[in-house]
Amino acid sequence: MPDIKIIIADDHEIFRDGFKLMLSRYPEIQILGEAENGKELLELTQKLHPDIVITDIKMPLVDGIEASKKIRQLFPEIGIIALSMFDEDDLIIDMLEAGAKGYLLKNSDKQEIIDAIISVYNQNPYFGKSTSSKLAQMIARSSFNPYTNRQKEEFTEREKEIVRLICKEYTNREIGEQLFISARTVEGHRMKIMEKMNVKNTVGLVVYAIRHKIFTGEMK
């Protein structure tokens, strides 16, 4: 994998330091710079041209939403990942609609952060794995649509059945009981479905299913 060049923006220096320390363990990731507000982020982005910007939403001078809009206008090839808190569902939607390709909660583990960076670097969306069903539905029904240039995949009726049950938050065992198959068989179907959708977790699957009208009901 080629080097992925990143700028980090957050108004808390301790958070930036911890983030940089964690990413420093991955030789394929290069930190070009850091910003403590949206104004600095825009200046650094224009100067350094990163592959990925990882930015907090709430920042002084210029917030993450306005910064994302301007980055998207000037440099549409740059991937933007939003950093959020648990109670910022509306702001996450605003960030995605402003141009972010994915988002992470600030307490995400290091593997999820790496997964998000690689996914967005490859021009695929990333949805935090701790996303609530409410937020997943909000994303799917927002104007954010990362699937416009992607070929529509075909799914078997069995796969659609499994997708609908996943969207209703059934476990593999519960799905197996419903469909008279083993939980292991369900897991095999789930992995194949996620590969077809090109998503990294169940949240991505749910957003894809609602967006493509595979699931049209209400989640729990």
Question: Which amino acid type is present at position 90?
Answer: D
Domain boundary residue, one of 126, 159, 176: 126
- Non-local (6+) Cβ contacts of 134 within 8 A are 89
208 in the same domain as 117 = no
Q: What is the pLDDT of residue 217?
A: 74
Q: Is the pTM here over 0.85, yes or no? A: yes
**220 within a domain of the structure (yes/no):** no
pLDDT tens for the chain, residues 1 to 220: 569 999 999 999 999 999 999 998 999 999 999 999 999 999 999 999 999 999 999 999 999 999 999 999 999 999 999 999 877 899 999 999 999 999 999 889 999 999 999 999 999 999 998 888 889 989 998 999 887 777 778 999 999 999 999 999 999 999 999 999 999 999 999 999 999 998 989 999 999 999 999 998 766 5
Query: What pLDDT is attached to residue 77?
Result: 96
Q: Are residues 15 and 66 in the same domain?
A: yes
Token pair 């949240």: residue: 203
| Nearest of 146, 110, 147, 116 to residue 131 by alpha carbon | 116
- Statement to judge: residues 106 and 208 lie in one domain: no
Residue 80 lies in a domain: yes
Select from 70, 95, 126 the last residue of a domain.
Answer: 126
Q: How many structural domains are present in the chain? A: 2
158 in a structural domain: yes
Q: Of the candidates 93, 119, 129, 220, which has an alpha carbon nearest to the alpha carbon of residue 166?
A: 220
What CATH number has the domain bearing residue 104? 3.40.50.2300
